Structure 1
Amino acid sequence: MSGKLLRVGTVYIPVTDVEQSAGWYADHLGAEVSYRDEDKAIVNLADQSFFLVKAAEGECSNFIDIHGKERFSLTFEVNGLEALESVHEEFRVKGIHVGDIEDRGHAGRNFVFDDPDGNRFDVWSELSPAYKEKFLSH
């Protein structure tokens, strides 16, 4: 390969009501809505663009793993356990469906949360070393 993939530019998330979902992402997650029409909204969150795309009822970004467990396809990172606990509590107070903070046997801790359409996301207490080096070492 002559070039290399440098970053993920956009993540697509299926939603049933674009207007309602864009509002939820803005109000509950602090996303900035940069575009909206009847079929999609672009929200910016965690240095990433998310396209909320109108989809059929019951569609979501989750998948079932080999053991029959429903899984998320995206993990957000926060800077440490204290930050994870703070975000977990903030989400709980806002009425977001959140799972318990878990020890999964690797570095850090995680919890899972859902948007109104059932799209499941993970939050991890460990920032990637490359991100820390690039953005937090100054």
Structure 2
Amino acid sequence: MPCYVTRISTIELPVTNIETSVNWYAKMLNLVVQHKTEHDAMLSFNAKGVASIYLVRTDDSKRNFFENTHTNVTHSVIDLYTYDLEGFYQFLQDHNVEVGELNLTGEFGGFGFKDPDGNHLSATNIAQLGQE
């Protein structure tokens, strides 16, 4: 069978203010603005094979998270990779970003945080198969 899909191209996020969100994502995640209007913006990690972030202005109040029925833990649908989990955690705290508990099991772990619109994001230092 042919392999038509080889990676995630873009992650789309709902936001209420493009300018505020572009500034936040550029600063907090070190993203590069590829395109921006008053209605949407495309931001990039500027790395081959890595998904872009597409911010779309909306008045819709739904955001990108869900609750695990088994554990009642709120999950994001986006996990971002960082080589320095504790450093990134501290960076976000220093910039008054709402962050969850830092969970470490040995040297690996993760934590959740929110963007200005309440979209849930997570950070992990675990590289998945094929990502290194």
Q: What range describes the TM-score normalised by the shorter chain of this pair?
A: 0.7 to 0.9
Cα–Cα, structure 1 residues 89 and 106, in superposed 2: closer, same or farther, change >3 Å? closer
Indicate the SS of the match to 1:109: strand
Provide, for residues 6-62 of structure 1, a one-character-per-residue CA deviation record: whole Å limited to 9, x for no partner.
Answer: 010001000011111111111222111111112111111373211100112523111
Which of 48, 51, 58 aligns to 1:48? It is 51
Structure 2 partner of 1:122: 122
Indicate the SS of the match to 1:7: coil
Q: TM-score, normalised by structure 1?
A: 0.81
**Rounded Cα–Cα distance in structure 2 between residues aligned with 1:72 and 1:106:** 22
8 Å contact kept, 1:15–1:59: no
**Rounded Cα–Cα distance in structure 2 between residues aligned with 1:56 and 1:106:** 42
Cα–Cα, structure 1 residues 96 and 32, in superposed 2: closer, same or farther, change >3 Å? same
Matched residue count? 128
Runs of 4+ in 1 over 3 A off after TM superposition: none
8 Å contact kept, 1:96–1:113: yes
Indicate the SS of the match to 2:27: helix
Structure 2 partner of 1:66: 69
Please give the root-mean-square deviation of Cα atoms over the aligned residues, in Å.
2.1
Provide, for residues 77-135 of structure 1, a one-character-per-residue CA deviation record: whole Å limited to 9, x for no partner.
Answer: 223xxx111111111111111112114x7982111110000111111121124222xxx
Stretches of structure 2 lacking an aligned partner (at least 5 in a row): none
1:76 Cα shift? 1.0
**Rounded Cα–Cα distance in structure 1 between residues aligned with 2:25 and 2:69:** 30
Structure having the higher strand fraction is: 2
Structure having the higher helix fraction is: 1
Q: TM-score, normalised by structure 2?
A: 0.85
Structure 2 partner of 1:135: none
